[in-house]
Structure 1
Amino acid sequence: MSVAPRISVEEALAIESRLEITRPKVRTHPIPTGQEKLLGDVYLRDIVKNIKDGQKGGGSPERTLLVIGKAGTGKSFALQHQFRQIPEFQPRRNESNELKTPLISFEADRPCGAISLGNGILKAMGFPYNPDERKPGRLFETVKALLVERGVLVLHLDEAQHMFRHKTDDAVQEVQDRLKSLQQIPNWPLHIICSGVDELSKLTGTEDEQLGRRARVMRYERLNFPGDKAEVAKVLTTTAELCDLRIPTELLEDDFLGRLVQSSKGGFGRICSAVQQACFRAIELGRSEVTKADFSRNYQRKYGCLPADNIFEVKNWQGIEPRFALADITPPKKKR
Structure 2
Amino acid sequence: MSEQPATSMMDHLLRTTSRKTVDRAAIIKKIQDIHVPTTADDELAKEIEIMLAHIMAGNATSGYALTILGKSGAGKSKALDHLLNNHPSFASFDGLYNRMSLSLRAVTPPSCTWKKLGARLAAQSGLPVHGETNEDVVWNDILLDRMRKMGTHVIVLDEFQHVLEAPTSHAYTHLSNSIKNLMQTPSYPIWVIVSGVPEIEGILDRDEHNQLDRRVPIIRVKDMPDDETTVGKVVETVQKLADAGGVRIGFPLIHEFVQRLMHGGIWRFGMTVQIIKNSLEKCIWDDKAGGVLLPNHFAQGYARLARDCPDEQNVFKSADWQKIQREVDDKGYLVDPASAPKRRRKKG
Fold in common (TM above 0.5): yes
**Equivalent pair of 1:259/1:317 in contact (CA under 8 Å):** yes
- Whole-angstrom CA distance in 1 between matches of 2:182 and 2:121: 11
- Whole-angstrom CA distance in 2 between matches of 1:301 and 1:193: 32
- Whole-angstrom CA distance in 2 between matches of 1:66 and 1:230: 29
| 1:115 match | 115
Matches within 5 A, 1:1-336: 13-40=18-45, 42-53=46-57, 55=58, 57=59, 59=60, 63-94=64-95, 96-133=96-133, 135-142=134-141, 143-203=143-203, 206-208=206-208, 209=210, 214-226=215-227, 227-251=229-253, 253-286=254-287, 287-303=290-306, 304-322=308-326
**Equivalent pair of 1:140/1:178 in contact (CA under 8 Å):** no
**1:234 Cα deviation from its structure 2 partner:** 2.7
Give the 3 Å change call, closer, same or farther, for CA 173–240 of structure 1 in structure 2: same
Deviations 1:73-102 (CA, angstroms, capped at 9, x unpaired)? 1111111110123222221233x2532100
1:166 maps to amino acid: A
Percent of residue pairs bearing the same amino acid type? 21
Give the 3 Å change call, closer, same or farther, for CA 205–274 of structure 1 in structure 2: same
1:31 maps to amino acid: V
SS of the aligned residue for 1:215 comes to coil
SS of the aligned residue for 1:318 comes to helix
SS of the aligned residue for 1:68 comes to strand
- Whole-angstrom CA distance in 1 between matches of 2:168 and 2:215: 25
* Greater displacement, 313-322 / 278-287: 313-322
- Whole-angstrom CA distance in 2 between matches of 1:74 and 1:326: 18
Deviations 1:236-292 (CA, angstroms, capped at 9, x unpaired)? 1121112110113522x3221111110010222211221111111111112221111
- Whole-angstrom CA distance in 1 between matches of 2:205 and 2:94: 40
- Whole-angstrom CA distance in 2 between matches of 1:326 and 1:48: 39
* Greater displacement, 25-34 / 101-110: 25-34
2:136 maps to amino acid: G
**Equivalent pair of 2:155/2:190 in contact (CA under 8 Å):** yes
- Whole-angstrom CA distance in 2 between matches of 1:44 and 1:124: 21
**1:212 Cα deviation from its structure 2 partner:** 9.8
**Equivalent pair of 1:33/1:231 in contact (CA under 8 Å):** no
**1:121 Cα deviation from its structure 2 partner:** 1.5
Q: TM-score, normalised by structure 2?
A: 0.80
**Equivalent pair of 1:206/1:212 in contact (CA under 8 Å):** no
2:292 maps to amino acid: E
- Whole-angstrom CA distance in 2 between matches of 1:205 and 1:127: 30
- Whole-angstrom CA distance in 2 between matches of 1:164 and 1:239: 36
Give the 3 Å change call, closer, same or farther, for CA 210–121 of structure 1 in structure 2: farther
Give the 3 Å change call, closer, same or farther, for CA 108–323 of structure 1 in structure 2: closer
SS of the aligned residue for 1:67 comes to strand
**1:113 Cα deviation from its structure 2 partner:** 0.1
**1:60 Cα deviation from its structure 2 partner:** 8.2
**1:70 Cα deviation from its structure 2 partner:** 0.6
SS of the aligned residue for 2:155 comes to strand
**Equivalent pair of 2:104/2:125 in contact (CA under 8 Å):** yes
**1:157 Cα deviation from its structure 2 partner:** 0.7
Give the 3 Å change call, closer, same or farther, for CA 211–233 of structure 1 in structure 2: farther
RMSD, matched Cα: 2.7
| 2:6 match | none
Give the 3 Å change call, closer, same or farther, for CA 170–318 of structure 1 in structure 2: same
- Whole-angstrom CA distance in 1 between matches of 2:261 and 2:36: 17
2:240 maps to amino acid: T
| 1:9 match | none
- Whole-angstrom CA distance in 2 between matches of 1:220 and 1:170: 30
| Runs of 5+ unmatched residues, structure 2 | 1-16, 329-333, 340-348
**1:301 Cα deviation from its structure 2 partner:** 5.0
- Whole-angstrom CA distance in 2 between matches of 1:323 and 1:81: 25
The structure 1 segments of at least 4 consecutive aligned residues displaced by more than 4 Å after TM superposition are 208-214, 323-327
**Equivalent pair of 1:144/1:182 in contact (CA under 8 Å):** no
SS of the aligned residue for 1:250 comes to coil
Deviations 1:146-200 (CA, angstroms, capped at 9, x unpaired)? 2111100111011111112123211011112222222222232321001111221
